[in-house]
Amino acid sequence: MTTPAVPSVLFVCVHNAGRSQMAAAILTHLGRDRVEVRSAGSAPADTVNPAVVEAMREVGIDISAEVPKVLTVEAVQSSDVVITMGCGDACPYFPGKRYLDWKLDDPAGQGVDAVRPIRDQIEQRIRVLIAELGIEAAG
C-alpha cells in the first residue's frame, strides 16, 4: 500500500526575508508532516528580517536559522500551490499550478510592532489554505 503524496506549497516574495518566511514557518508548524513547504525570493536578501524572527518567536516558532533562498524554476514546477506576496512579474508561471497572490504589507524596514499584524494576517490565510487542502491543522 502506498502513502498518498502530500500537497506541496511554495511561498514567494521578493527578498524571502519576511512574508514568505513567516508563511512557510506557520504552514510547517500547523501542517506538520501533512504538507511539503518551500519559500523563496526573486531577489533574496542576505538574512531574514530580525523583526520577523522576533515576531515569530513570540508565537513559539523559531526561524532564526532560516536563510533566504533564490526562486528556481524547479521549486515552482515541483509545487502544487504557488503563493506570491508581491514578487510581481519575477514569478515564473506554469500551467496546471494553482496560483494565489496574497496582498500583504511588506515588513522590510519595519519593527516588530508593525510585523505582528502581518504575521497574524498570514496565519489566518494559512488556516484557510489548510482547510482548502484538506489538511487537519495541528493544535
Q: Which of 9, 23, 27, 87 is catalytic?
A: 87
Query: In the annotation, is 13 catalytic?
Result: yes
**Can you tell me the distance from the alpha carbon of 79 to that of 88, in angstroms, rounded to the nearest whole number?**
18
Query: In the annotation, is 126 catalytic?
Result: no
77-114 exposure pattern, b = at least 16 Cβ within 10 A, e = fewer: eebbbbbbbbbeeebeeeeeeeeeebebebbeebebee
**Can you tell me the distance from the alpha carbon of 50 to that of 53, in angstroms, rounded to the nearest whole number?**
5
Please give the radius of gyration of the chain, using alpha carbons only, rounded to the nearest integer.
14
Q: Given CA atoms 59, 61, 65, 69 in this order, what sign does their dihedral have?
A: negative
Query: In the annotation, is 87 catalytic?
Result: yes
Q: Which of 76, 85, 91, 130 is catalytic?
A: 91
Residue 98's DSSP bridge partners are 81
Q: Which of 13, 23, 24, 40 is catalytic?
A: 13
Residues taking part in catalysis: 13, 87, 91
